[in-house]
Amino acid sequence: MTRDPVSRAVLWKIDETGRRETADWVAVEEPLEIRVNGESLAVIMRTPGNDLELGAGFALTEGIVTTIDAIAGVTQCRDGEGAENNVVDIRLAGETTLDTARFRRNLMTSAACGLCGRASLEALAIQARPVASQTGIRRSVLQELPDRMLRAQASFGRTGALHASGLFDPAGELLVCREDVGRHNAVDKVIGRRSLDGAPFDTTILLVSGRTSFEILQKAAVAGIPIVCAISGPTTLAIETARAFNLTLVNFLRGRGMNIASVPARILDI
């Protein structure tokens, strides 16, 4: 069964002509549990569709099998309510066995049958609480943040391969900016710096240079950052996470425009 890799989300679109509520296309992001001979091995975040291919490709390129002939079959499990299509099982050929401990990763404690986006939010709820901060930022200040971060990025222009992450205060002052080949690392560096300084997050705004996937919102929720904005688009699960943890999520922050998918009240003058 092929599932649509995009979905509609209702959000606020802000541009020079004003603001309007609209439904926009968003990339779907959901967890996929990969099992080998029925044993849970890994949970990865992916866009649904072509999951059997993904399972086979993952098994090959991560070294779980060395040739495609070592795979007797890949099947999609539908054994839990709401879990349809979010589990693939790779059956190994013949007597092949696997040192599963070597490959196991990112298993959620609650990842039984029933794995879905909701399970990711429930796992996150163990770590994070909805953000209560009512900190706001003026729209005109928010629009300046991308340029301010770009000026602070020492290396990007030279390489075209680094992500940046910046933490700002409500006046638009850049508190810390870090670059990394990994989007999540750039966020971890920023959160780590601020935490080591013993400084609070409840009046900060996080800006990331790329997209916002679940992982970015997860990190912001754990740190307690009330406003997350990004130059590019969100995923479905990022929007759900922002809404569940009362985070403001701003995407496509470019020029005079932006999309707000969650808690618009913290963006003033819109």
Binding site for a second copy (CB under 8 A): 5-6, 25-29, 44-47, 50, 52-58, 60-61, 63, 66, 68, 74, 102, 104-106, 109, 126-127, 154-155, 158-162, 178-182, 185, 187-193, 195-196, 198, 211-213, 218-219, 222-223, 232-235, 251-252
- Residue 206 corresponds to which amino acid? L
Question: Which one from 113, 116, 177, 229 is the annotated catalytic residue?
Answer: 113
Closest to a second copy by CB, 128 vs 263, is 128
Closest to a second copy by CB, 118 vs 193, is 193
Q: Is 138 exposed, middle or buried (0-12, 13-18, 19+ CB in 10 A)?
A: middle
What DSSP string runs through 162-192?
Answer: -EEEEEE-TT--EEEEEEESSHHHHHHHHHH
Minimum CB separation of residue 268 from a second copy in Å reads 25
| Eight-class DSSP state of 93 | P
Judged by DSSP in three states, 79 sits in: coil
Closest to a second copy by CB, 218 vs 262, is 218
Do 116 and 247 meet the contact criterion of CB atoms below 8 Å apart? no
Closest to a second copy by CB, 136 vs 241, is 241
Minimum CB separation of residue 11 from a second copy in Å reads 12
Do 239 and 261 meet the contact criterion of CB atoms below 8 Å apart? yes
Task: Tell me the β-bridge partners of 104.
Answer: none
Phi, psi of 86, rounded to the nearest 5 degrees: -100, 15
**Residue 113 known to be catalytic:** yes
Phi, psi of 153, rounded to the nearest 5 degrees: -80, 110
The radius of gyration computed from the CA coordinates of the chain, to the nearest angstrom, equals 20
Enzyme catalytic residues: 113
